[in-house]
Amino acid sequence: MNYAEDRLDRRATAKVDTTSHDQLEYDLKRAHSVLNKYYASHRHRGCDTLPSSHADDDDVDEASPYISPSLRELRAAHELAGKTLRDCGQNRQAVFHFGMAWRASHWLENQRRRNYGTTFANTKTINDDNNTDEDSEWKSVGDYAQMCEFSGFPEIGVLALLFYRAGGCIEFDSIKIGIDESDKIQLHGCGCNMSDCGRSPCFVAFPYQSTDMDDILLSMDALFIDNNFDQTFPCALDLLAHLAHMTRKADIIDDPTEAMHEYLSKQQSIKNMPSVLRFWDNGSLEQSEHRRVLSPVLLLLLLKLLYSSPISGSFLQLACISIPYVAARFPLASPEGRMLAQRYKSHWAYYVFIRALVLGERVKKHRKDRVTGQIPVWDIVFCKESETLNEKQIIDEDKRVNKLDYYRQILWVCSAESSGLSLDQTPPLPCTIEHRISPLSSHHPIFVVGDSHVLSLAWQTIHIDTSKNAPHTGEQQNKLQIDRTAVPFPATGMKAWHVRPSTRFFTHYNLHACLKRLPLSGTRRTIILSAGEIDCREGIGGPLLQGYYRNCRDAVTRTVAEYLASLSDLAEAFQLQILVMPVSPHAYRSEKNGKSTGRARRRETMHLWNESLRRELINGRMSTTPQSTNDRCKYDRVFVLDYEEQLRHDSNSPVGYVLHPCFNADYTHVNSAIVPLIEDAILNCGCDLASL
């Protein structure tokens, strides 16, 4: 589940004279060798599925007579193939192999429990993050769910994790090892000679037609339909105050999750939410023998997928409801929090960021420099802080797109039972105005695509008052206001360098999968795109990944030029208008930990990056030279949102400008207080407002 660390491990173990391509090819051949050997032996014995619930005599390990060594080897081979294909940008094939690795781990886990007479409820150590057993199913399902996100289908990753927690069983006879000779496997496979490899844009590794999945889908659908927001929810500020109180009383609180539940129950009732959705609550599992406990990292991953998924509705509500419970269980400065931050850096960082966006920040009265215009997403979803709909805006439930039907349809289309989709086909999102993008808004969406910084705008309403830039009469006033809900569709880990068409990496595929799934209309074809912060943080260009040049201006200029040229090609291919977000400066941190030099270099790189964006997309449009005319034609669909200078705060930093405290979410990302800056930047960037 640590995809960045996987790449570092491959570099560390590679021979000095080998390239990364050679190492990837070598790893894939290793995986194929094991897979072909395993499946050939079973075909020789007349088998076309994985072994039944009792291991064959030939599969028994004398040292451990309960677990098939060939299945353990099979799981490792599928996992190696998945990691290798992911790093090659072959996401369709990678998600298949991660799914098969989960299936093998599922069989091994069930056999272990059966032979030792344990249940899911009383074997919490099996799902513990401290467990180093590579056969552990929780690690495999986490890899698979994360790969679903990388393939552009976070909703399938969410359902996989909920299915796993519900104790869902993958039938052994569904694990197909045969080959359909009539299928053109060379068109979509990775060379493993398995007919389902790459057939689907997101391989469904679990049975989507089962009692457990029906329970999950019906509960998700009911959560959105039944919640009419008549209850009195505490506001985000009250929740933060109660969390601070719980932190001070931590020594006398036995169960933080139960304590938070008691507090929320006094304020409102969450309409008897079924236990199958209370993924943060391990207490609800004590009465069930077949449901599993989510390890902390799986809990964080599920929270991230729910919040960042463009599905919204019940996904967004469930993510927000879980935040107070997770915050009570894992305080930011607690030993558990520090352990997760060290072991699963990216997952913990996402949680800290999302927590800050959902709950906001407590600001002491005397800290006037920290006063922020951020609107916590919790208040938007539950406290009617954004706006109240009038009768004409309320959507009739009969006309609303049925998300339950959508879930079933997307699972069927991506399953092995369907005919599959060609390599250029991807099922679209169900996001249309008919089913309400956010619970309290009927505005059309504007999708925000790219790296993790897109979440800064997630679920906020963007108001574009075109009257500021155009004369109007009283009759025109109603037509001059454009309201859009910012819907995130992140491509985790995406760099600006990955946008280039020659890139062979999972982020490049992820970006294209996201764009293919956008339900854009004929007139509304504008997206906001964010990339570049990781380039500036990790280094610009290939040779710079291991360090920085003393003067990287030329490298930054070339990278920005490649980035914008690639965006222009994307805009043309997908008929989009792309509004580019600049790279926001990081917040000020102490100089005492020895990282001041690296941070100063990053600030310099970010400054050069934003200067290059302005030079290409703003100054070039204002110039009248022949070269600038060519640039205007080249970038006629790409515009920069020029608000970065308004984020700066240089009065308290000896190493250059930093992010103003009122915009700070987690020292790396900005919060939703930037929305007014975004609104003004859209008005002034020169884009076609009719395409919004």
pTM for this entry: 0.88
pLDDT, tens digit, for every residue of 400-447? 445 677 788 888 888 766 555 555 566 677 654 333 444 445 688 899
Q: What percent of the chain has pLDDT over 90?
A: 38
**311: confidence class by pLDDT, cuts 50, 70, 90:** confident
CA distance 662 to 671: 8
Does residue 127 contact residue 292 with C-beta atoms inside 8 Å? yes
Report the pLDDT value the prediction gives residue 270, as an integer from 0 to 100: 62
Closest by CA to 236, choosing from 271, 267, 259, is: 267
* Number of alpha carbons in the 13 Å side-chain half-sphere of residue 229: 16
- Kindly report the average pLDDT of the chain as a whole number: 78
**617: confidence class by pLDDT, cuts 50, 70, 90:** very high
Q: Average pLDDT of 482-504?
A: 92
Report the pLDDT value the prediction gives residue 510, as an integer from 0 to 100: 94
**521: confidence class by pLDDT, cuts 50, 70, 90:** confident
Lowest mean per-residue pLDDT among 53-67, 148-162, 231-245, 614-628: 53-67
Domain locations along the chain? 3-117+171-204, 213-370, 443-691
Q: What percent of the chain has pLDDT over 70?
A: 68
Does residue 134 contact residue 78 with C-beta atoms inside 8 Å? no
Does residue 498 contact residue 417 with C-beta atoms inside 8 Å? no
CA distance 239 to 383: 12
Q: Which strand (E) or helix (H) includes residue 97?
A: helix 91-116
Question: What does residue 403 show for φ and ψ, rounded to 5 degrees?
Answer: -70, -25
Lowest mean per-residue pLDDT among 201-215, 260-274, 527-541: 260-274
Report the pLDDT value the prediction gives residue 600, as an integer from 0 to 100: 76
The answer to whether residue 12 scores a pLDDT higher than 50 is no
The answer to whether residue 57 scores a pLDDT higher than 50 is no
Residue by residue, DSSP assigns 108-160 as HHHHHHHHHT--STT-GGGG-TT---TT-HHHHHHHHHHHHHHTT-HHHHHHH
Strand partners, 581: 530
Query: Which residues, 6+ apart, have CB-to-CB distance to 207 below 8 Å?
Result: 168, 170, 171, 174, 213
CATH class of 443-691: alpha beta
Does residue 323 contact residue 359 with C-beta atoms inside 8 Å? yes
pLDDT, tens digit, for every residue of 375-386? 999 988 887 654
pLDDT, tens digit, for every residue of 86-123? 999 999 999 999 999 999 899 888 777 777 665 554 45
